[in-house]
Structure 1
């Protein structure tokens, strides 16, 4: 074995004592290894972090950075919002439903408002609900404050384009205002994103059937327009003379028509009670308190002071509209009739009367003054300021207000039976009796002052009106 290894080593060494062909092969192998290592150095391993090259032009680099951070207005409007809200559905495609308040985790995003059984963190942890979340589509929806529809505070309503109505509520004043503004901004932004074709077709809301129908209508209008052009071309001189004769007869008929005053004297046109200015109505009836208001108050005090939730519970709307029609037609009204036996119908029609006044019971010019008065911290000064404002009101407004608040005061005395406190009546009548002439956008704060004014005037009735 030793001789064989020595012979092999001898073959590797040249006679001159230097390495021969083997040495060249090792050198070539080393060269290939160097080239391979150089090639590998050009390849980035997955663990190496690729750094973004820094621009040499600092000004341009800052501009690019700012452009990456710019957020569009639509992104701000549709920014996701989520949290706990109390929700109830009161109308399903026009059908009234019983209120059933439930606390749900609400998520506002894009064009919808979802109500989940649990928050996103709980859902991510695997605690998923077995029921699908309820979704409110905000396309074409409307949102408005609706405290009169519930005894709870801070309530607003969403009405969808399909006729569904939802009430949302939270006891936290700031949170509910933020929700209202976020939903309102989302609905407004959706209104600006609708796409229309030259024919006026809404591509995002119309179904294929609707598109076909609208296309047919456009085609029919085009044909009608073409026919009208042909008719005008064939229009003869004799037709022109006939047309002129018709115009002359119409002018004579219009000039002989009776005036509005004549029609009112003959009883063909009657002045209505609902929607009439309070001063005009009182002047027509030669009184300072409308007869209809007196009739309703007498009927309520006669048989409805102990009714549970009086003025808060809504009566049958169709019967209320029927009663409204009879009053406008100046027919003889008997509220003791059996068809008006539901006291909530009488209270509902009285609220409707004050709600439909062209100018509220608290005139527009006095609104800011009443708000400033209710902000006064000292109670005596606050009551004195409101008392002075009430004395300055026009006579019909002052006397009607005194009659109404005297009636509401009697209701609060029986609050242990009818469950209507001064706070509850303030919530019901605040937005009905006084409101600003121009919507300033901060409806939640305005609503708080409206309720507080009515509530204070009920508690301090003797000091304000007596």
Structure 2
């Protein structure tokens, strides 16, 4: 009678590895292994886990609001158990046989992530059902340790031949593998292919993948350096614009001279459209340029101007003329350099101080004629328009002083506010008011 097979037993946690001795069976099955999970032992339970911050961001159907909570996380063979309170709760739950909230690892995926949270050392687990969990620890070694453990459990369940390990007896495991394991009765073709060499190759693949994952987590500085190199090699906005890859279509916030050069004119098209619209239907509007339009509508108009080539100010959405005047004032306020250039600010202040009226007009006229062509022509158009606004002052109730107060800080300001702001504001208003009064002589406008 043949001697009973001798078994060498190696216990690791709750999993017992039974390895057949080479004297009992043929060489083909000499290294065959089977995973048998033991029933809970009545001995004292040792709880091995980590404190981590956990947030569930999806339940598979809809996204959930990210809410972090500290949990004692215990890794079992096929699940990640989450205990909200403490390690003591985990110990008492395991002794009582209770089930904790868990993350099923069978068919799950895991990856480090920096997009889902601003915290450091965050990784994401996506279960087979679609639920998503974020886990984080301020200690990188703690996070990495659990990451490697979860990865090992996922690889074991997917590639080790036992999807979704759970507590069961050997007959239940046999039933899940077509009724047999290698070396036990008749085996299916798929079971026969699971040779010891095949299992060893999977284990080697799993371990290399684990090492690669850990190195990915620790090589954060390498990722940062590669990103920095990419950013420094990226072509500048100016280069992309010169090559025609990106078109700069901004109107608001663009330099006046650059905008006019792009449009092939000496007066911005948007300024001309606003002036025409106001003169067509707003010269008699009460408080024109003084009354503010709806800011949200003005911002909408600004967005359309910056994004689209065509603009129809006769559209019903711009029927409030105060929206048009508000957008025009915003255009001048957002110029990088005002309509009256910085280098001319002090010169205009000195010219307005001149006592003799004719000399004052001559001094201001000379300065205006020294301005760049886009500034000079835009100024001529604007002040001619404001002069026509004053022609309807009986109905729109606007005065020269009122327009000076509105347009003074809009059209000119010093490059550095090192002086007295109140004094500068007085000069700003006086300059605009004086040019408005003397606009016919300064710009040689037709007297109608």
TM, length-normalised to structure 1: 0.48
Larger helix proportion of the pair: 1
TM, length-normalised to structure 2: 0.50
